[in-house]
Structure 1
Amino acid sequence: MAQPDDMLDDENYPAYTMGRAAEIVGVSQDFLRRLGEAKLIDPFRSAGGHRRYSRYQLRLAARARELCDEGTDMAAACRIIILEDQLEEALRQNERYRTASRTTETL
């Protein structure tokens, strides 16, 4: 079982209830539900069926709020965020490949 310190450091640990998550992000609970329906975030469900959100999911929700506040509709905002996330992951992978390549070249 994960230790409490591990859970606090884990950005994917579902630590926040829907009400607290909405408060942190500054949105309504309905906004969070709609992000789930749009498949931007898939909150963990507690044993009682309550939605729980991670810090990572809160960052995505905050970005969606930012885009929607600028006038972007929710579907487009979700697509933008998904593409931004994919780009960030691709850039991280690229950097790992470059680092591995440089390590191999020096051997």
Structure 2
Amino acid sequence: MIPDQRDSAAPGAADRFDDEHYPAYTMGRAAEMIGATPGFLRSLGEAGLIEPQRSTGGHRRFSRHQLRVAARVRELVDQGTGLDAACRIIALEDQLHEAQRLNETLREQRPESP
């Protein structure tokens, strides 16, 4: 049986495919989806930007969220940004989005002034 078929046959596995953090994609498929090489994806792991989960056989598995991050890095690299700088830009963008989300949540929780 192909591992992807076995995984999808597990109880509740189909529900997890809606989860953007579910590691559904193999290294080869992930690289193909973002138009990169497996080596590029490995370099993102080595840089600490994304950490793919490992299957029981030790193979890397990527989520849709990780693929969006990798695609953004690839876009920056294709524009001439160095890999280290691209990873730093992505990390800073993530911090900014999280801070904006937190600010919005705090604004919603703040009581209105009379």
**Structure-to-structure mapping, 1:63-102, within 5 angstroms:** 63-101=72-110
- Residue 23 of structure 1 pairs with residue 32 of structure 2: yes
Mapped partners of 2:23, 2:68: distance in 1: 13
Between 1 and 2, higher relative CO (CA 8 Å, sep ≥ 6) is seen in 1
Q: CA RMSD in A?
A: 1.6
**Equivalent residue letter for 1:30:** G
- Which position in structure 1 is the counterpart of 2:63? 54
Where is the helix percentage greater, Structure 1 or Structure 2?
1
Q: Percent identity?
A: 62
Cα distance change on mapping 1:96 and 1:79 into 2, 3 Å: same
* Count of residue pairs the alignment pairs up: 104
- Which position in structure 2 is the counterpart of 1:105? 112
Where does the alignment leave 5 or more consecutive residues of structure 1 unmatched?
none
State the Cα distance separating 1:11 from its structure 2 match. Answer: 0.5
TM-score, normalising length from structure 1?
0.91
Cα distance change on mapping 1:2 and 1:32 into 2, 3 Å: same
Where does the alignment leave 5 or more consecutive residues of structure 2 unmatched?
1-9
TM-score, normalising length from structure 2?
0.86
